[in-house]
Structure 1
């Protein structure tokens, strides 16, 4: 008999379903992702730290899990919500089922609720604090706990997911996939790319390594002096969780790096680059999370379909003169990319490494390498 479980939101809404995965009680910001596939990549994306993720696609788990499609060593999110968890999986790459994977990694799962109703509420009201529990099933108690839980604004969650020391990275895309992606990307440039890891998805350094780069990963709080001692040809600013404004150590480091070495930022890295240059950020109502977000490239007049996962964005009105907008999100016209007018530095508010997702934006890695080669 499935164990009952409940989700309560800070606005007093309660959803009752069944537990799958681990048991217990967790709090977090309740958000949704519109991807049809890629649930294992979502589970292991450190950018979801402090969040309870709802999948809009109804059937999740039907192709199982494996040791290949991971974006970090273990899941970082607080909880996982689906309409229906498939107890049968079928895929030649599968090594196990989703429920066992959640249990092994101590992730609470909730199934059997109307995820359409939940997503509509989030879209109407905005992302909210929530609590997922298999131990306390009292509605009033759960709502009070949700109201008392911490939000994301003003918190430095990056320190919970960043590495503790510098490491060399040599894993390539070809080591993990049968596709032609990695083969076409090899340029054998030999450039040394230092990645500042704020909670980085592993497919990003795989892309750099596949292009022939030497890759070193350093913690996100590494100083500019320490980074420059490694003689980088370029510095990459990774994705990561939460509010970018409290990360003043990163703002300071990036300001010192500008002009010394080319800089490329993705997602949180894009926000941090903008903040370092004097811009401001704001919290989106319910964020952008999915693999089908249309973005307009102002420089080429082309539209690319992108993978996105962020709850904050750069405030265009606050952009300093040294930054210009290069990309826009076509769903809400928010800033999706910026470029520094004086230094070799740019960032995008989406994931060109796209795991999972479309490959429209791979050109950004080539653009970075061209800046390094100058």
Structure 2
């Protein structure tokens, strides 16, 4: 079946559909990871977006119930050059085509993803629509405009609705869930932490009631400026307990400390982003997934600890006097290199642990 991908500037790509029939709308971004499509599809940070994979062949090792970052796929749509029809993996239990149909994901294949990626790189990420319906480009452009007017709380859609507990014998960690990846929880669990995961809108009093040794602010989707309640709550936690931020949590923590955010032209999405750590002097290859960044205009109490080697954006900071560390990239990777797992050890030490 034929499918169209139309961007809000009128650029159109004609290809073939896979997965569900119908339409999908969202912001179109590209991811440069060569593997890890299962983790990408299920990453809650992609809620509201349609992901273009720059690697040309996707699905060659199928899908399983292990390599996922949430209980279901979170992307609005999926864009590839070629989807594999003959996947092979001893753990695989469902083919790519069956997977996308089961989870009602609209996909488009057989388009020039290199051309699409260069277009986004040159003109910035923009909203788009994938459609298998016989509609004109003008009709599809109108649907994009209508969809842009809708206001949705993406974090609310991916956050847990109730507090839950992952038992451990180590330090007690409260995780504020803005769309937490399961790999973050797995790493804390593997380090013995006693984990309590809270809904994104939990009050400071609810978090402090369990008397945690540390608080982790998770990754998640969307614009941090759309969550004033969250960063106002974080302000009330400053100095009360050791705090670590990751991705969206990093941005919200930065705003709570007086910083400002801005939208990147096409974001950072992939498993190969070089980041310099000013503390160790090393350059790490990192996994990233964000469209917003913090401005480098903090007061003198904040020390910038990491920058992106490619564009100089802020990738990490710490506080001179308070027990606070934060990183923009994903130290848990999944997919991507695990160079930066040490960040979790630093956090647990800050929380009084021995890691």
TM-score after normalising by structure 2: 0.97
- Match in the other structure for 1:18: 16
Q: 3-state DSSP class of the match of 1:333?
A: coil
> Residues 289 and 310 of structure 1 are in contact (CA less than 8 Å); yes or no, is this contact kept in structure 2?
yes
CA distance in 2, matches of 1:61, 1:297: 34
Is 1:328 the counterpart of 2:307? The answer is: yes
Q: 1:112 aligns with which of 110, 113, 133?
A: 110
Aligned pair in 2 of structure 1 residues 58, 334: CA closer, same or farther (>3 Å)? same
Structure 1 match to 2:166: 169
Q: Tell me, yes or no, if structure 1 residue 207 matches structure 2 residue 204.
A: no
Q: CA deviation at 1:257?
A: 1.0
| Residue 100 of structure 2 corresponds to residue 102 of structure 1 | yes
TM-score (structure 1 length as normaliser)? 0.92
**Cα distance, 1:336 vs structure 2:** 0.3
Q: Is the 8 A contact 1:352 1:362 kept in 2?
A: yes
Aligned position for 1:48 = 46
* 2:154 is the counterpart of 1:157: yes
Structure 1 runs not aligned, ≥5 long: 171-187
Q: Which residue of 2 aligns with 1:286?
A: 266
Pairwise CA distance, 1:189? 6.5
User: Counterparts of 1:87-236 in structure 2 under 5 Å?
Assistant: 87-150=85-148, 156-170=153-167, 190-236=170-216
Q: 1:151 to 1:35 in 2, by over 3 A?
A: farther
Q: Is 1:311 aligned to 2:309, yes or no?
A: no
Does 2:222 match 1:242?
A: yes
Alignment of 1:353-368 (within 5 A): 353-368=332-347
- Residue 250 of structure 1 deviates from its aligned partner by 1.1
What residue is the counterpart of 2:240 in the other structure?
Answer: 260
Using the alignment, how far apart are the partners of 1:160 and 1:132 within structure 2? 22
Provide the residue aligned with 1:78 in structure 2.
76
Task: Name which of 304, 316, 323 aligns with 1:344.
Answer: 323
Tell me how far 1:331 sits from its aligned partner. Answer: 0.7
Q: 1:341: Cα distance to partner?
A: 1.6
Q: Which residue of 2 aligns with 1:369?
A: 348
Give 1:133 deviation, angstroms.
0.8
- 1:185 is aligned to none
Distance 1:25 1:249 in 2: 33
- Gap change, CA 1:268 and 1:151, over 3 Å in 2: farther
Q: How many residues were matched structurally?
A: 353
The separation in 1 between residues aligned to 2:232 and 2:207, in whole angstroms, is: 13
Q: 1:277 aligns with which of 242, 257, 275?
A: 257
How far residue 155 of structure 1 moved from its aligned partner, in angstroms, is 5.7
Report the Cα offset of residue 157 of structure 1: 1.7
The superposition leaves residues 228-254 of structure 1 with CA deviations (integer Å, 9 ceiling, x where unpaired) of 001111000000001001211111121
For each residue in 1:52-102, what CA deviation from the matched residue of structure 2 results, as whole angstroms up to 9, or x when unmatched? 100000000000000000100011110000000000011111111111111
Measured on the aligned residues, the alpha-carbon RMSD in Å equals: 1.4
Distance 2:118 2:124 in 1: 9
* Distance (Å, rounded) in 2 between the aligned partners of 1:255 and 1:143: 41
Distance 1:340 1:137 in 2: 54
Question: Is contact 1:194-1:217 (8 Å) kept?
Answer: yes
1:151 shift after superposition: 7.4
What do residues 135-168 of structure 1 show as CA deviations (whole Å, max 9, x unaligned)? 243122112322332279x864211111100001
Q: Distance in 2 between matches of 1:198 and 1:322?
A: 26
